């Protein structure tokens, strides 16, 4: 490398570092972060339903199927960034769009949603169509429509109205086209030049508003947030904090917290959960739905309503109980179909969300419990520690043999402990999951299996315990548990994985989370008001290798 070229590369690297320092923190002494790429991601089913519900209310029913999104790095929110729409998915979205549009312009609803009346009901009315489509499009696209976009939709509505001789039928065509548009179905972030740092991009105001809204509320921006974006207020610390505080004070914030933990804990898997009703007759569809609701109510109560210590989730005995759940928990509930606060007795082995029916039943087989699945879930969902998939050559016959002389799961799992292909992973999972063997495949309490007493002792990374409550205490003290929720929260907010250049930022977040007493709302506010959440990757500085190649050409 020549001296001149070396100086140029050093100067370029120094300039880039200087810009990054200037981009971080906004006065809070936050560490430097390189940020990540802008995202293009598919709306999740919940987000789609929330946006339609916000815009049209309960009068419009979203009845249809959605293609599944593959969970990536522990979150559907990240997996949505690599999701594609299949041919059948396009048909499903088209059917949904047609159904929604038809309901919106139906005689019973049109006065609620259409802000004007056409001059002639059997003809096109471009002015009225523009008023409706412009207003609706602002929320569906999460930004104002351009003049050309609006003109196109108005033209479609006008042509359809003329053909059908019905203004509202034409309006439905225009709305259907918007609901089928990638501008609605995909969150497409946009950048603009950053006036504070020439040569570097930044998210535009509407992309900032969209990140913020899906993070805090799991739905698109409301009018107040769109207006703040339009005025450039989200580019200032005062404006951003004002909007974050407003949104966190809203009842919708609890819905956003529910959405985050639904994703983090994989509670969407309840949609496909099956149990053998002969073996577990009390496990009904109502019980499954209530199990999911129970853990979400517990999470929101502990972390938002009480503003409690996140670590207490693993030891708390407070929860909520419904009639269908009472049958499985063997707890009398005086309000069938309703919810009442409930606290497990001190001598009850249930303590912490990892002992809730939603956890132990979800991570079991249809007809029996599974220490391995439960241990794997604790590692991956609560501690963010990925367990490799089992080799394709593993033989499960010894564990699944109904005639095995080994009566308990602990004894049957010894076969994997001595198999070199299995032992490494099973040592990470089984000693944890065995602590939950007091709960059968449906989450019901038991003390024996096949007539043999159950040994619930175990170990978590050197911490030994005697039972499920001891496991909860070990989880409460494990720094991986709090690190995990910090990483998941930021990844969920940014809708992408965490880059190598963000390690200092994550360490900073974890330290601040600890200093706050592990209060989740404070963690969420810190992320939402940070520049790190909105920092996007700058164009790469030319490397030495690239410079050499360029000089050869």
Q: Name the DSSP letter for residue 381.
A: I
Q: Report the Cα 412 to chain-centroid distance in Å.
A: 36
The residues facing 192 across adjacent strands are: 202
The residues facing 465 across adjacent strands are: 458
Q: Quick one: 58 exposed, middle or buried, by C-beta within 10 A (0-12, 13-18, 19+)?
A: exposed
Residue whose C-alpha is closest to residue 202's, from 212, 214, 213, 191:
191
Domain that holds residue 451: 261-477
Number of domains in the chain: 1
Cα angle 93-97-103, degrees, rounded to a multiple of 5: 145
What pLDDT sits at residue 449?
86
Strands (E), 457-497: 458-460, 463-465
Tens-place pLDDT, residues 240-267 = 999 999 999 999 999 999 999 999 999 9
Nearby residues of 551 by Cβ (< 8 Å), 6 or more positions away: none
Has residue 265 been placed in a domain? yes
Q: Report the Cα 432 to chain-centroid distance in Å.
A: 26
For residues 129-157, average pLDDT: 97
What is the spatial distance between Cα 409 and Cα 440, in angstroms, rounded to a whole number? 11
Mode of pairing for the β-strands spanning 448-449 and 452-453: antiparallel
State yes or no: pLDDT of 527 exceeds 70. yes
In the numeric block, the tokens 């947030």 are attached to 225
Share the mean pLDDT of the chain. 88
Report phi then psi at 379, rounded to 5.
-60, -50
Tell me how far CA of residue 84 lies from CA of 80, 182, 250, 523, 543, in angstroms.
8, 11, 33, 32, 33
Has residue 294 been placed in a domain? yes
Tens-place pLDDT, residues 480-517 = 999 999 999 999 999 999 998 899 999 999 999 999 99
Q: Quick one: 398 exposed, middle or buried, by C-beta within 10 A (0-12, 13-18, 19+)?
A: middle
What is the spatial distance between Cα 495 and Cα 44, in angstroms, rounded to a whole number? 12
Tens-place pLDDT, residues 175-208 = 999 999 999 999 999 999 888 888 888 999 999 9
Structure tokens at 471: 């496991």
DSSP class per residue in 251-310: THHHHHHHHHHHHHTTGGGGGG----TTT-TT--HHHHHHHHHHHHHHHHIIIIIS--BG
What pLDDT sits at residue 26?
45
The residues facing 40 across adjacent strands are: 188
Instruction: Give the number of C-alpha atoms closer than 13 A to the C-alpha of residue 119, restricted to the C-beta side.
Output: 4
What is the spatial distance between Cα 73 and Cα 76, in angstroms, rounded to a whole number? 8
Has residue 67 been placed in a domain? no
Residue whose C-alpha is closest to residue 243's, from 204, 212, 271:
212
Do the beta carbons of residue 222 and residue 54 sit within 8 Å?
yes
Has residue 253 been placed in a domain? no
Has residue 236 been placed in a domain? no
What is the spatial distance between Cα 350 and Cα 438, in angstroms, rounded to a whole number? 9
Has residue 211 been placed in a domain? no
Tens-place pLDDT, residues 153-170 = 999 999 999 999 999 999
Has residue 275 been placed in a domain? yes
Has residue 73 been placed in a domain? no
Higher pLDDT, 391 or 430: 430
State yes or no: pLDDT of 364 exceeds 90. yes
What is the spatial distance between Cα 41 and Cα 184, in angstroms, rounded to a whole number? 11
């Amino acid at each position: 490398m020549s001296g001149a070229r070396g100086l140029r590369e050093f100067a370029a690297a120094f300039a880039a570092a200087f810009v990054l320092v200037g981009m971080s923190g906004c006065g809070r002494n936050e560490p430097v972060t390189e940020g990540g790429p802008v995202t293009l991601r598919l709306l999740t089913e919940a987000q789609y339903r929330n946006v339609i519900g916000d815009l049209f209310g309960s009068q419009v029913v979203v009845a249809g199927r959605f293609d599944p999104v593959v969970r990536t790095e522990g979150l559907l929110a990240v997996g949505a960034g690599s999701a594609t729409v299949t041919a059948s998915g396009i048909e499903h979205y088209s059917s949904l769009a047609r159904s929604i549009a038809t309901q919106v312009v139906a005689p019973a609803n049109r006065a609620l949603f259409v802000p004007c009346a056409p001059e002639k009901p059997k003809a096109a009315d471009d002015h009225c169509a523009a008023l409706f489509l412009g207003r609706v499009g602002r929320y569906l696209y999460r930004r104002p429509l351009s003049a050309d976009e609006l003109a196109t939709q108005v033209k479609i509505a006008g042509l359809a109205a003329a053909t059908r001789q019905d203004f509202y039928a034409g309006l439905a065509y225009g709305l259907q086209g918007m609901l089928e548009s990638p501008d609605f179905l995909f969150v497409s972030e946009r950048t603009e030049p950053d006036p504070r740092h020439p040569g570097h991009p930044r998210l535009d105001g509407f992309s900032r508003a969209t990140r913020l809204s899906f993070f805090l509320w799991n739905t698109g921006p409301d009018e107040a947030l769109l207006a703040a974006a339009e005025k450039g207020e989200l580019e200032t610390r005062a404006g951003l904090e004002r909007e974050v505080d407003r949104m966190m004070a809203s009842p919708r914030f609890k819905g956003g917290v529910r959405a985050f933990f639904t994703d983090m804990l994989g509670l969407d898997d309840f949609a496909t959960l099956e149990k053998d009703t002969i073996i577990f007759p009390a496990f009904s569809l109502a019980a499954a739905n209530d199990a999911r609701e129970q853990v979400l109510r517990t999470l929101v109560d502990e972390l938002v309503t009480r503003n409690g210590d996140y670590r207490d989730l693993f030891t708390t005995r407070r929860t909520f109980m419904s009639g269908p759940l009472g049958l499985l928990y063997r707890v009398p509930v005086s309000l069938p179909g309703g919810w009442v606060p409930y606290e497990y007795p001190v001598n009850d082995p249930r303590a912490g969300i990892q002992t809730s029916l939603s956890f132990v039943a979800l991570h079991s087989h249809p007809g029996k419990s599974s220490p391995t699945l439960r241990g794997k879930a604790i590692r991956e969902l609560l501690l963010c520690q990925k367990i490799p998939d089992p080799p394709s050559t593993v033989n499960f016959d010894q564990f699944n043999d109904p005639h095995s002389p080994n009566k308990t799961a602990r004894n049957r799992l010894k076969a994997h402990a001595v198999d070199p292909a299995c032992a490494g992973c099973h040592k990470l999972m089984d000693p944890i999951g065995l602590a939950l063997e007091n709960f059968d495949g449906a989450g019901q309490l038991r003390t024996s299996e096949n007539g043999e007493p159950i040994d619930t002792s175990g170990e978590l990374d050197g911490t030994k315990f005697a039972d499920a409550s001891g496991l909860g205490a070990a989880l409460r003290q494990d720094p991986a548990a709090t690190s995990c929720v910090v990483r998941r929260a930021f990844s969920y907010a940014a809708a992408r994985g965490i880059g190598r250049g963000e390690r200092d930022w994550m360490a900073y977040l974890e330290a601040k989370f600890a200093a706050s007493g592990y209060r989740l709302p404070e963690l969420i506010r810190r992320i939402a008001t940070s520049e790190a959440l909105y920092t996007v990757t700058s164009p790469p500085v030319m490397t030495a290798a690239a410079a050499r190649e360029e000089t050869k050409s």
